[in-house]
Amino acid sequence: MSTHQDSLVPEQIAQLPWRLILLVLAIAGFGLAILYSAAGGQIQPWAASQAVRFMVFFAMAIMLSRFREEHWKFFAYPVYIVTLLALLGVEIIGQVGGGSQRWLNLGFMTIQPSEIMKPVLVLALAKYYDTLPSGELRRLVAIWPALLLIGLPAALVVIQPDLGTTVVLVAAGVTIMFLAGLPLRLFIGGAVALAAAIPLAFMFLLEDYQRNRVLTFLNPENDPLGTGYHITQSKIAIGSGGLFGKGFLNGTQSHLSYLPEGHTDFVFATMAEEFGLFGGLLLIFAFAMLIRWGIRVGQNAQSTFSKLTAAGLSTTIFFYFAINLMMVMGLAPVVGIPLPLVSYGGSAMLTVLICIGILMSIDRENRMRRR
Amino acid sequence: MKRRAPLSINDNMRKTMFSRRSMLLGGAQLGVAGLLGARMAWISIAENERWQLLSESNRVQLSLIPPRRGWIVDRAGQPIAMNRSDFRVDLIPDRLQNPNRVIASLVELLDLPEEEVARIRADLEDAAGYQPVQVADGLEWEQFAAVNVRLPDLPGVAPLQGYSRYYPAGPAVAHLVGYVGAPSREDYEETRDPILMVPGFKIGKDMLEQTMEDRLRGEPGARRAEVTARGELVRELETRPDVSGDVLRLTVDAGLQEYAARRLGTESGSVVVIDTLTGGILCMTSMPAYDPNSFSDGISHLEWNMLSEDDHVPLRNKTLQGLYPPGSTVKPMNALALLGQGIDPEETVTCSGRTRIAGGNFHCWRRGGHGAVNMNRAVAQSCDIYFYQMGVRIGMDPIAQTARTLGLGQRFDDLPVPYQYFGTVPDPAWKRRRFNEEWQTYDTVNATIGQGYMLTNPLQLAVMAARLGSGRNLTPHLVAANAGPRAAPLNFSAEHFDIVRQGMSDVVNGAGTAGRARLPIEGVQLAGKTGTAQVRRITMAERRGGVRSNASLPWELRDHGLFVCYAPTDNPRYAAAVVIEHGGGSGAAYPVARDVLTYLYDQDLAMEALERYEAGWGGDIATRMARQEAEYRARQAAAEAGTMRDPLASRASRDPETGE
């Protein structure tokens, strides 16, 4: 690397991981274009506010990248506890107010504690395994506190009920346990147990509307006007796009309102209709790059905490992306998970940019160490 | 050694494990991303065609343009059924934002009666989304324009300019062409033709409108439009115009049809006139009748009740569904049968007014008797005793065979009509089949004067007259294009025909029973045969005390009056049958036949006579029907709210042999 002193830009700016930033800006910019089209070629009501939101959160992510590993380590448990309390608070308010609620109104903005919990849980688990001596890894003590850390928020989220977020939380948590070095047979056994438990969970744990969604997912043509409508219309949008799509602003499924939620959960279908397979592969490639970068950051990190945090956060982003795309393409039930950075809405964007911010901070540390 | 993982893992091992497992994880994630890409390629490339099709069917809504129904015209091209420009207003439930306010505005603009508002509200509740609900049709231009002007304030209101069926002659053609009406659920389920779901589209519901539906309907046009999921129109894409239905030309003479209907006056009766050259039906009238114009608009309960309670059965097509004992109109046919069996036409039978046959007493209609009668007198003066004795001599079978040859008991399968009650020509085999009883001599006696089991419809009677007059095996037809080659001669000798025809001519022009049936036309003579059909049994006691005159009986017990005829006698051109239900005797029938045939030769003369009659009856058909309805309405002061129903749906199906 050349010396930064010669450069016209200040060192703090030049130090930023520009390739990643450009990648994130590209994904978000593409998302804004899709929102512009989804509104019928207008920046209102979605594209403009989404752009403002992105800039605010992205600036925040840059700020987060200035934090050091010690800060994250220090804050991991307190923030976890606060977020857990917030989840509990949401549940209590919901119970008192009647009906379920996921939001906490802070006056100037509403936040969704279950979203915040995603990176926070990763930090807490990473912190736990970081403090756990390597010698203890094959002991019970390597398992139950982690399960408790995952189980408490997962339980609070699943009774909200928010199946999508629960799945992402548990999946990310289990991934960290896997990366932390727990014995493989635990995961194989767990997978077998899960396979056995799914029918039982389906019968007894799911709400009626969730059960319907799963049934509809298995056979969308059964209920073409009910819950199957989402999946079918989404597949129509993607399938009719063909190789290069119908052209920007020319999607009929979205513009004629056949595609429900075309600006939020099903934004990928809106995109695919207008940009076709080409646009879809581009977006998938961009996300693959983003996640690969996150995993690399983890591999280059020094401490167990940083390694696990980076891999866990990348995995969280991965699960958002993968579950959303599977849902949109009819490979998973409609669970209500947005496509990060692209779907209209603040909560998921905040979560993902927090993840990216922390990843950038670890990356910065890696690079500073190498220098 | 036990394959147990080392209990203590050092930090280096931990790092190695992390890098291996994170490699694995990254690889798995890349794999999933690859699978997602493959899945997307599968949907958008391999299944592209299917989804594209679905996308198009989402985007593009096809709306059908109802075709204009083909006209029905008479032999000269005069319209019998045509289309009139019609202004209508519908409601689209989906786009209705404030039904109460909109309906209130429409009530004010269109002056809707209370019962209609109730129907609209009921229809709106049943309606599914985008399917329009009719508010009103047959609107005046001013009303239609008023709704159009207010349209921006009335979301959900759809004014439409369409066509409605119009029958200029109204009730006179009701039982000839039928009427049109909204398709029923069964109609739709049968064919699944989407045009049937288009509001305001109507299909034929009776007679020719029903049987000729395929030719009259035409091809619907289509309008392709881009619509949103909420049904809002984005833009029109393309329009394929509709193709009107074919014009259906009939053999009927519209003027004659209407004249016959008017001439029937207040009677319950039917007139059938046949062209004896072609077999084409010139008129097929059954009166009284419903007004097909108001039937085609949908009919109210009140109107329906009035029609179904009327003892003159306006809902029955008497030309095809009315079955009557033919009475003495069968006597020329009997004579032909006798001649075929070698009976000498000059042989006489002495008629004393009564005779004993096979142990039973049988009477002639003339109590004093006819004296010595030969065949000619027997036909001309309608002597019963002659035919009793001669008929018994040759037996029933040759008589029945001749009757069938002349068209009695025959079903005319090529006639495009939805129903035909073809009646009965009884013979021993029939009686065994039907009642499992042996044929008795008195059965033959009854049959020779067209009573007993014998039942015919007016069309068959006209065919009999046409075949007797022309000597040809004419088949009646209604559609002009269906005229086949000239009918083959019937297998009777010309000599025999001449004897019978002379008898029929003498009925009118000689010393016969219907002298008053002579045509007021120079050089045109009518030949015919009267008939009186009893509808009750005359007891011996009554006979002794003197048969009560028909006029003193309640209407429904009076005899039917019948008359069959053809003209001119020397070279028949037209044949006719007239049946007047409970007319009291043939005297009610032959004046009608005379005037109807007069119309064919001299319209002015016939109209003059008609106008005199109508003055006595209290006006023409429309006037009398309006008065009748007003009276009925007054009687049903507390009339219930009218709703639409299929007027003929509950018409009971009867046995076509017996009419029961």
Query: Would you state the pLDDT for residue B653?
Result: 54
Q: Tell me, what DSSP letter sits at residue B538?
A: P
Which residues in chain A are contacts of B23 at CB distance < 8 A?
299
CATH of the domain at B405: 3.40.710.10
Query: Would you state the pLDDT for residue B8?
Result: 66
Contact A339, A327 (CB under 8 A): no
DSSP per-residue string spanning A342-358: TSS-SHHHHHHHHHHHH
Q: How confident is the model at residue B645 (pLDDT cuts 50, 70, 90)?
A: very low
Contact B254, B80 (CB under 8 A): yes
Looking at the domain assignment, is residue B9 inside a domain? no
Asked whether the CA dihedral B491, B496, B497, B498 is positive or negative, the reply is positive
Which residues in chain B are contacts of A302 at CB distance < 8 A?
none
Query: Would you state the pLDDT for residue A31?
Result: 95
Nearest Cα residue to B565 out of B534, B600, B539, B535 = B600
Asked whether the CA dihedral B248, B251, B256, B261 is positive or negative, the reply is negative
Looking at the domain assignment, is residue B157 inside a domain? yes
**Beta carbons of A256 and B50 less than 8 Å apart:** no
Same structural domain, B174 and B272? no
Report the residue of chain B nearest A285, measured CA to CA: B33
Same structural domain, B146 and B92? yes
Of all residues in chain B, what percent carry a pLDDT higher than 90? 57
Put simply, whether A183 touches B (Cβ < 8 Å) is: yes
Same structural domain, B184 and B293? no
Model confidence over B47-78: pLDDT tens digits?
A: 999 999 888 888 887 778 889 899 999 999 99
Residues 289-348 of A with CB under 8 A from B: 291-292, 295, 298-299, 304, 307-308, 311, 314-315, 318, 321-322, 325-326, 329-331
Which residues in chain A are contacts of B37 at CB distance < 8 A?
280-281, 284
**Beta carbons of A236 and B55 less than 8 Å apart:** yes
Of A29-33, A111-115, B203-207, the range with the highest mean pLDDT is A29-33
Query: Would you state the pLDDT for residue B255?
Result: 95
Taking the mean position of all CA atoms in its chain, how far away is CA A121?
Answer: 13
For residue B220, give Cα distances in angstroms to B30, B69, B94, B419.
Answer: 56, 10, 25, 29
Report the residue of chain A nearest B31, measured CA to CA: A288
Of all residues in chain A, what percent carry a pLDDT higher than 90? 56
Q: How many domains does chain A have?
A: 1
Residue B389 CB coordination number (10 Å): 17
Put simply, whether A243 touches B (Cβ < 8 Å) is: yes
Of B81-90, B129-138, B148-157, B297-306, the range with the highest mean pLDDT is B81-90
Looking at the domain assignment, is residue B646 inside a domain? no
A82 CA: distance to closest CA in chain B (Å) = 30
Model confidence over A182-196: pLDDT tens digits?
A: 888 889 998 899 888
Which residues in chain B are contacts of A314 at CB distance < 8 A?
29
Same structural domain, B146 and B207? yes
**Beta carbons of B10 and A235 less than 8 Å apart:** no
Nearest Cα residue to A47 out of A55, A37, A57 = A37
Which residues in chain B are contacts of A328 at CB distance < 8 A?
none
Same structural domain, B185 and B299? no
Same structural domain, B268 and B152? no
Token readout for A371 is 């220098």
Domain boundary among B249, B266, B298: B249
Model confidence over B179-226: pLDDT tens digits?
A: 998 888 788 888 888 888 777 788 999 999 999 999 999 999 888 888
Range of the domain at B509: 254-635
Q: How confident is the model at residue A97 (pLDDT cuts 50, 70, 90)?
A: low
Looking at the domain assignment, is residue B500 inside a domain? yes
Contact B488, B405 (CB under 8 A): no
Which residues in chain B are contacts of A184 at CB distance < 8 A?
none
Which residues in chain A are contacts of B51 at CB distance < 8 A?
235-240
A359 CA: distance to closest CA in chain B (Å) = 15
Same structural domain, B341 and B448? yes
Looking at the domain assignment, is residue B44 inside a domain? no
Report the residue of chain A nearest B22, measured CA to CA: A179
Residues on chain B bordering chain A, Cβ-to-Cβ distance under 8 angstroms: 5-11, 13-14, 17-19, 21-23, 25-26, 29-30, 32-33, 36-37, 39-41, 43-45, 47-48, 50-52, 54-56, 58-59, 226-230, 234
Residues 104-123 of A with CB under 8 A from B: none
B62 CA: distance to closest CA in chain A (Å) = 16
Q: What is the mean pLDDT of residues B548-577?
A: 90
User: Between helices A113-131 and A163-180, what is the axis angle to 10°?
Assistant: 10
Contact B165, B296 (CB under 8 A): yes
Contact B274, B281 (CB under 8 A): yes
Domain boundary among B249, B281, B312: B249
pLDDT over threshold 80, residue B121: yes
Q: What is the mean pLDDT of residues A294-322?
A: 94
**Beta carbons of B29 and A241 less than 8 Å apart:** no
Same structural domain, B183 and B118? yes
| Bridge partners (DSSP) listed for residue B248 | B72
**Beta carbons of A238 and B36 less than 8 Å apart:** no
Strand B371-373 versus strand B349-351 pairing type: antiparallel
Looking at the domain assignment, is residue B536 inside a domain? yes
Q: Which of A27, A125, A134 to substitute to test the interface with B, most B CBs within 10 Å?
A: A134
Same structural domain, B437 and B308? yes
Q: Which of A225, A240, A258, A293 to substitute to test the interface with B, most B CBs within 10 Å?
A: A240
Looking at the domain assignment, is residue B27 inside a domain? no
CATH of the domain at B172: 3.90.1310.10
Q: Distance (Å, rounded) from C-alpha A347 to C-alpha A116?
A: 8
Same structural domain, B180 and B328? no
Looking at the domain assignment, is residue A13 inside a domain? no
A192 CA: distance to closest CA in chain B (Å) = 19
Among B115-129, B306-320, B483-497, the minimum mean pLDDT is found in B115-129
Query: Would you state the pLDDT for residue B655?
Result: 65
Taking the mean position of all CA atoms in its chain, how far away is CA B431?
Answer: 31
Model confidence over B222-242: pLDDT tens digits?
A: 888 887 776 677 777 888 888
Put simply, whether A179 touches B (Cβ < 8 Å) is: yes
Which residues in chain A are contacts of B46 at CB distance < 8 A?
none
Model confidence over B380-407: pLDDT tens digits?
A: 999 999 999 999 999 999 999 999 999 9
Looking at the domain assignment, is residue A1 inside a domain? no
DSSP per-residue string spanning B337-399: HHHHTT--TT--EEE-SEEEETTEEEE-SSTT--EEE-HHHHHHTT-HHHHHHHHHHH-HHHH
pLDDT over threshold 50, residue B599: yes
A1 CA: distance to closest CA in chain B (Å) = 26
Which residues in chain B are contacts of A330 at CB distance < 8 A?
43
Q: How many domains does chain B have?
A: 2
Looking at the domain assignment, is residue B47 inside a domain? no
**Beta carbons of B17 and A240 less than 8 Å apart:** no
Report the residue of chain A nearest B20, measured CA to CA: A179
pLDDT over threshold 50, residue B131: yes
Query: Would you state the pLDDT for residue A230?
Result: 84
Which residues in chain B are contacts of A280 at CB distance < 8 A?
37, 40, 44
Q: Is A260 left (phi over 0), alpha (psi -120 to 50) or beta?
A: beta
pLDDT over threshold 60, residue B644: no
Same structural domain, B214 and B301? no
List Cβ neighbours of A37 (8 Å cut-off, separation of 6 or more). A248, A249, A251, A254, A255, A270, A274
Contact A341, A326 (CB under 8 A): no
Among A239-243, A280-284, B239-243, B537-541, the minimum mean pLDDT is found in B537-541
Range of the domain at A146: 18-370
Q: What is the mean pLDDT of residues B10-25?
A: 89
Taking the mean position of all CA atoms in its chain, how far away is CA B540?
Answer: 42
What ipTM goes with this model?
0.91
Query: Would you state the pLDDT for residue B641?
Result: 45
Same structural domain, B224 and B299? no
Put simply, whether A280 touches B (Cβ < 8 Å) is: yes
**Beta carbons of A322 and B5 less than 8 Å apart:** no
Report the residue of chain B nearest A281, measured CA to CA: B37
Domain boundary among B227, B249, B271: B249
**Beta carbons of A181 and B17 less than 8 Å apart:** yes
Model confidence over B451-475: pLDDT tens digits?
A: 999 999 999 999 999 999 999 999 9
**Beta carbons of B21 and A236 less than 8 Å apart:** no
pLDDT over threshold 80, residue B500: yes
Taking the mean position of all CA atoms in its chain, how far away is CA B366?
Answer: 40
Token readout for B152 is 């921006």
Query: Would you state the pLDDT for residue B129?
Result: 55
